[in-house]
A and B are shown apart, each in its own frame.
Chain A
Amino acid sequence: MTRENVYKPETATVTDIQLEAGGGRPIRTMTFQVDDPTERKKFLHKPGQFIIISYFGTGESVFAISSLPNEDGIIQVSAMKVGNVTGRLHALAVGDKVGVRGPYGKDFPVDEWKGKNLVFIGAGIGISPVRAVYQYVLTPEQRKNYGDVTLIYGARTPADLAFKDEFKEMDTRDDLNLWLCIDWKFGPKGPIEGNAHTDWPAINMSAPGDTVVPEGINKFTAFVPQLVEVVKPKPENAIVVTCGPPIAIKFITQALAKLGWSPEQVYTTLENRMKCGIGKCGRCNVGDNYVCKDGPVFTQKEISEMFDDQ
């Protein structure tokens, strides 16, 4: 008896693991490939979609996919170690087995954005879903379809900054404006050991818009929303893609509004707690929107019209 069982994951094998950020809440990027070659095609995904990964025996968790669209069943996610399943995933080694089901959810309308300038804003682990889009946009085939690309990313401490090597390489690209920031140079117990970023200048937090940016400096000590006000991305013919903790999104949206962005231009991806991923189990709703089915990609305009408890 075979029946289509949407809840049953396919077994996949870990092919690569990279430690992106250390510290108390490490981030690892994991790459998986679906074992069954006949099933691989089903895992063709688009930027913004999510996948549900099982650590068999512990449970399932939802992750934004960061790999480029492919029909080889290759899925890449970046996960911060915060809970039971992510704890298990962080202990994986190449060759280990996990379960995957998906991809689910609405993607970013990247085709509609062709010809526009793009601004990517990521805060903390929120960079992960944003990365799915900018990686896609920055591929040689796609880059020519878009105008200016700006990327703003910040994390709590230097240790929390993820994808360091990738950013180092991206910093040298001339088709991308990269801006980085950290919230604190110092930890609660004084200077953070091995901190290579003490030279990142602070900005005037009360009036960030007045900050004069020294030539050639693109790394600061600041919160992401303030850095946005420093960078002053222009809203004309442009789109923002942002993600981060709820509090960061709130202030990023306010900063963008100050700069003249309208809510329709600002795309974000919501992450609520999910179990089924397919609109049955109930818990991810924001008003009458199921994040898993109607999202996770929403514009700020759509979000502002929701019955939002927050």
Chain B
Amino acid sequence: MAEMIIKKVRVDGLFEAMKDFEVYGPITKDMITRYQKTTGTPDLVFKSSRKPPKEVFFPQTEKMFDLVKDGTRFVGAKDVPPGDKPILLFGLRPCDGRALNVLDELFNWDYTDPYYVDKRKKSTVIGLACTLPAMPKDNCFCTSMGGSPGSSEGMDMLWVDIGDSYYVESLNDKGNAILELGKGIFEESGDDVRSSAGKAIEDAANAIDRKLDTSGVRDALAKSFDYNYWDEFSKRCMGCGICTFLCPTCHCFDIQDIVKNGEGVRQRSWDSCQFDYYSIHASNHNPRPEKKNRQRNRVYHKFYYSENKLGLVGCVGCGRCINLCPVNIDIIEVIQGAKELSQ
């Protein structure tokens, strides 16, 4: 593991050196941060993004392949060659890095998903630890979900803001390649730098005020499935897709054929388990007919099913669903409530 530092004034130079990459980084516009393609240096000062970085590897709408036409009818499918440019994702927050682990597991589980895995394989991920004053935000609770403001899971390289420079830790060969690319830009680090980086992370961790005691959550959920509780709190749910679309680990999608101007493509787009038509059968039977069923499915998927299937909890504690829910459905409160009821 190589440790270096990079002076903030030299970051532009590094991005210049990384021109061969397709760079995605945090861009803030109208008060909203998203990870978007950029040709310059992305924003270095930002809170966690509104739309999670999963969209870099798993875009909200993604073309799968072209439909082949014979006369007026479509008769087959033709693969679209993927781009060959390497991808650089810069500025990933630690919670979102852990979320990538969940998506990695899912898209490699059993059958391999070519679209996600292909992009992921040719990507290098540079994370940015959460440090004061930008982070933590309201309702961050990563430390309760096994993460930390300095977690480097899912990343190839982690940067920590230490004032006028970043402490840089390369975690694997992909990270080392970036160090190589920025030779002369990265500078030697020392023990004092490492400890001030550690201090910055610790301070951020201490500033996280929301906590969820996850011990016994699985037992509680195993008991409480049939409780009236789920009906009670989901009464105020409006049934919108905010909590799922903006969740860094949610991955449900729909597959549709789109025909425009005589050209056909098959496409996939994010879908949300909170929509009632999501699970409705052709016969109009709906296995999850009410908001209670759908909210419960979301909570169980995160805190129960995901662990059974992928070995990872589906929540990383980024706090987006809490911050953005228009009717204050608070997943920490929901889980704590279920735990209390099942005692």
A residues at B contact (CB < 8 Å)? 1-9, 11, 54, 56-61, 82-83, 86, 96-97, 99, 245-246, 271-273, 275-276, 278-288, 290, 293, 307, 309-310
Q: Which 8 A-B pairs have the closest CB atoms?
A: A56-B74, A282-B252, A288-B305, A97-B75, A83-B282, A278-B111, A11-B76, A57-B74
Q: Is the interface of B mostly helix, strand, loop or mixed?
A: mixed
Q: Apart from A57-B73, A60-B255, A309-B297, list 16 A-B contacts with CB within 8 A.
A: A4-B114, A7-B255, A8-B65, A11-B76, A56-B74, A56-B264, A57-B257, A58-B257, A61-B282, A82-B282, A276-B253, A279-B309, A280-B251, A282-B251, A288-B309, A309-B293
Q: Tell me, yes or no, whether B15 is within 8 Å of chain A by CB.
A: no
16 example contacts (A-B, Cβ-Cβ < 8 A) are as follows A1-B82, A8-B65, A56-B68, A56-B76, A57-B73, A57-B74, A60-B257, A246-B287, A273-B280, A275-B254, A276-B253, A280-B109, A280-B253, A283-B278, A284-B279, A307-B300
- Which residues of the partner chain A approach B75 to less than 8 Å between Cβ atoms? 11, 56, 97
- Which residues of the partner chain B approach A4 to less than 8 Å between Cβ atoms? 112, 114
- Which residues of the partner chain B approach A287 to less than 8 Å between Cβ atoms? 300, 305
* Given A7-B64, A9-B77, A60-B255: A283 in contact with B279 (beta carbons within 8 A): yes
Return A136 CB to nearest CB of chain B, in Å.
26
**Contact call A7/B283, Cβ cutoff below 8 A:** no
The residue among A56, A83, A271, A310 with the most chain B CB atoms within 10 A of its own CB is A56
**Contact call A281/B253, Cβ cutoff below 8 A:** yes
**Contact call A246/B82, Cβ cutoff below 8 A:** no
- Which residues of the partner chain A approach B118 to less than 8 Å between Cβ atoms? 3
- Which residues of the partner chain A approach B289 to less than 8 Å between Cβ atoms? 309
* Given A3-B118, A280-B111: A97 in contact with B252 (beta carbons within 8 A): no
Determine the residue in chain B with the shortest Cβ distance to A97. B75
Determine the residue in chain A with the shortest Cβ distance to B277. A273
Partner of B252, one of A58, A61, A281: A281
**Contact call B279/A281, Cβ cutoff below 8 A:** no
- Which residues of the partner chain B approach A288 to less than 8 Å between Cβ atoms? 300, 304-305, 308-309
Q: Is the interface of A mostly helix, strand, loop or mixed?
A: loop
Complex CA–CA separation, A5 to B309 (angstroms):
23
Partner of A57, one of B67, B225, B280: B67
Partner of A281, one of B225, B271, B288: B271
Return B267 CB to nearest CB of chain A, in Å.
11
* Given A1-B81, A6-B111: A246 in contact with B76 (beta carbons within 8 A): no
Q: Tell me, yes or no, whether B110 is within 8 Å of chain A by CB.
A: yes
Q: Tell me, yes or no, whether B301 is within 8 Å of chain A by CB.
A: yes
**B234-273 to A contact mask, C-beta < 8 Å, 1/0:** 0000000000000000011111110100001010000101
Determine the residue in chain B with the shortest Cβ distance to A81. B282
Q: Tell me, yes or no, whether B113 is within 8 Å of chain A by CB.
A: yes
**Contact call B271/A283, Cβ cutoff below 8 A:** yes
Determine the residue in chain B with the shortest Cβ distance to A309. B293
Partner of A97, one of B76, B110, B257, B266: B76
* Given A245-B285, A287-B305, A288-B309: A97 in contact with B73 (beta carbons within 8 A): yes
**Contact call B281/A271, Cβ cutoff below 8 A:** yes
Q: Which residues 274-322 in B have Cβ within 8 Å of A in the complex?
A: 278-283, 285, 287-289, 293, 296-297, 300-301, 304-305, 308-309
Q: Which residues 54-68 in B have Cβ within 8 Å of A in the complex?
A: 64-65, 67-68
- Which residues of the partner chain B approach A278 to less than 8 Å between Cβ atoms? 110-111
